[in-house]
Amino acid sequence: MPRTASIQRKTNETNVDLTLNLDGGSYRNQTGVGLLDHMLDHIARHGGFGLDVKASEDTQIDDHHSVEDVGIVLGQAVNEALGDKVGIERYGDAAVPMDEALARVAIDLSGRSALVFKVDFRQFGADPAAIGRFDVQLIQEFFIAVVNNGRMNLHIEVPWGENNHHIAEAIFKAFGRALRQAVTITGDQVPSTKGML
């Protein structure tokens, strides 16, 4: 059976439509937040996922609502597409360099939500750390939303890196690769002594 999910989330702040295919396909991400589109492309490309995201929001305030709500919907889609999780590898990890930056990501599709985020983005002067106009705090908010709605353990660490864009790219590429490993079918049972995840 195809492992797909299509989720819509409509609030007074955002409207998000997302389709995910864990087993591959094309990707097209149009959220209205350029950096988020770029990072979603990395998840899809390096994870081998089909991913189509369309979102609109009140971006005249800032990008927070779009970033968080896309994370919510992506987490929901991963959880739904996995179904009963029979045969999945369950765990995945990846270390990805991006020039001077290195990101390490480990995932457990355990059915429980936990995020460890050990990332120090670079701040220059008195301005908040950013990539262009994108507030890098939103990257952690994105993964909080993914984890809470995808019901997974996710550990992200960047032991070194100087360029904020490189750090972000390494994180999202590593997340895609680790998630690919975790969702891969390698058996015929639920990978838990409990008999369920």
Count of helix runs (H) and strand runs (E) in the chain: 4, 10
| Domain layout of the chain by residue ranges | 4-183
Token pair of 50, please? 């089909």
What strand order describes the sheet that includes 91-98?
Answer: 91-98, 101-108, 153-160, 114-118
| Residue 50 confidence (pLDDT) above 80 | yes
DSSP element (H, E) containing 116:
strand 114-118
* Distance separating alpha carbons of residues 89 and 39, to the nearest angstrom: 24
User: Mean per-residue pLDDT for 118-134?
Assistant: 86
User: Domain 4-183 - what CATH class?
Assistant: alpha beta
Instruction: Name the residue among 85, 87, 83 with its Cα closest to residue 110.
Output: 85
> Given pLDDT bands bounded at 50, 70 and 90, which one contains residue 126?
low
- Model confidence pLDDT, tens digit, residues 76-115: 999 999 999 999 999 999 999 999 999 999 999 999 999 9
Half-sphere exposure of residue 84, counting CA atoms within 13 Å on the CB side? 8
* Distance separating alpha carbons of residues 33 and 55, to the nearest angstrom: 9
- Model confidence pLDDT, tens digit, residues 1-33: 889 999 999 998 899 999 999 999 999 999 999
Q: How far is CA 126 from CA 91, 121, 122, 130, in A?
A: 40, 14, 11, 12
Write down the pTM of the prediction.
0.96
